[in-house]
Amino acid sequence: MSTEDIFEVEIKDVYNYRLSYGGQSAYFHGLQAGKMVGSKCTGCGFVWVPLRPVCSHCYETAEEYPLSGKGEILTSILLPQIPEHLRHLNAPVATALVLPEGADTCIKAFVVAHNNVTLGKGTRVKAKYLPKINSIADFYFVPEESGD
């Protein structure tokens, strides 16, 4: 059989389903309410962001732990293209590793750089939340000094 003999058709499949964030729901409820919520291990005290219901270090339960939503850039790089869900902000966007205040983990997040603020290591940032939360990427940070 040659490739010309293979019969092919175009098919479009659309699946609608409801995705559950399960034990991480408190993190997403927090984002929806404009708050950053991590979890603190009841065994070793490690603070996870994003929230983990079970500690990956000692496997004890980790409980919801509210955070300030502020943090510090560990490293960042400006993106050549703005992610579609942040284009309405009309500002340069970097991807960064941010150490949230009070957390023992860092999180990869977008940082919006209004007013050409430098986004170097140590830059203090604060979280901003999109009106509709669907994913972990539906918030971003801005430098505290930007006044946003």
- DSSP H stretches of helix in the chain: 25-32
User: Interface mask (CB under 5 A) for Zn ion, residues 16-45, using x and -?
Assistant: -------------------------x-xx-
23 phi, psi to nearest 5 deg: -65, -10
104 contacts Zn ion (rule: CB under 5 A):
no
CB of 45 to Zn ion, least distance (A): 7
Q: How far apart are CA 114 and CA 108, in angstroms?
A: 19
Q: How far is the CB of 60 from Zn ion (least distance, A)?
A: 5
Residue 25, both tokens: 């729901």
In the complex, the smallest distance separating the C-beta of residue 68 from Zn ion, rounded to whole angstroms, is 22
Indicate whether 103 belongs to the interface with Zn ion (CB under 5 A). Answer: no
Is the N-terminal amide bond of 50 cis, ω within 30° of 0?
A: yes
Question: 44 vs 78, which CB is nearer to Zn ion?
Answer: 44
Give, in degrees to the nearest 5, the angle at Cα 90 between 114 and 38: 65
Residues 43-72 touching Zn ion, rule: CB under 5 A, are: 43-44, 46, 55, 57-58, 60
